Amino acid sequence: MADIIFISGGVRSGKSSFAEKLATSHAERETNSLYYIACGEPVDEEMKERIAQHRYDRSKASSWTTVECPVNVGSAAKRIGQGGIVLLDCLTTLLSNELFKQIESYEALIDRIKCDLSIVAEKCDVLIIVSNEVSFEPFDTPLVKTYGKLLGSLHQWVVEQAREAYLVEASIPILMKGEVIE
């Protein structure tokens, strides 16, 4: 079972670049392969641009194998080599993609996502999960509230499983759980 690292933060807080740096340093230490599970789907121009930017940033740094996986993230495990360092970006996108499909019940969906994440964690050495902060303002619509509730429950579960958890504020990672071994 992999060591799970949870990284959360606001939009453009630098959480992805911190996650990539962390993954790279783990890979260098253990000479593992780097895998990037991309949950974003290039549905429009803005999304295409964001994905291109993320791809460019990664290509500068190290050799990543990108696994596109907008839903059913457990299926990505097949495309990951044993003992790799895996970065999943990001849980919020995964949850919205799953919600837009025909779903079972909300509880069943959350259980399935947890199960999918566990399948990936079984395969690799380190699993870094990136997500967004849920909310610090009232929910406007019942749909947004449901989304917040589901995401919040997933976050609580991931943090419980995690060896380390970070909140990234303006590119500065704050360690919320665990100890960093230098």
Partner 1 sequence: MHVVTGGAFNGKSKWVRDYYGVPLEWYSAYDGTSWDEKSFKKDVVVLEGLEEWIKTLVSDQKSLKETRRAVRSYIEAWSAWESGRDERTIIVIGTDIMKGIVPLEKEKRMWRDVVGWAYQDLVSLAERVDVIWYGLNQQLK
By CB under 8 A, name the binding residues for partner 1: 6, 8, 133-139, 148-149, 151-153, 155-156, 158-160, 165, 167, 176-177
Nearest to 87 by CA among 130, 27, 33: 130
Nearest to 114 by CA among 17, 106, 83: 106
How far apart are CB 32 and partner 1 at their closest, in Å? 27
How far apart are CB 155 and partner 1 at their closest, in Å? 4
Cα four-point dihedral sign 55, 85, 90, 122: positive
Pick 51 or 99: Cβ nearer partner 1: 99
Pick 38 or 167: Cβ nearer partner 1: 167
Q: How far apart are CA 46 and CA 40, in angstroms?
A: 11
Whole-angstrom Cα Rg for the chain = 16
How far apart are CB 52 and partner 1 at their closest, in Å? 29
How far apart are CB 78 and partner 1 at their closest, in Å? 30
Pick 35 or 166: Cβ nearer partner 1: 166
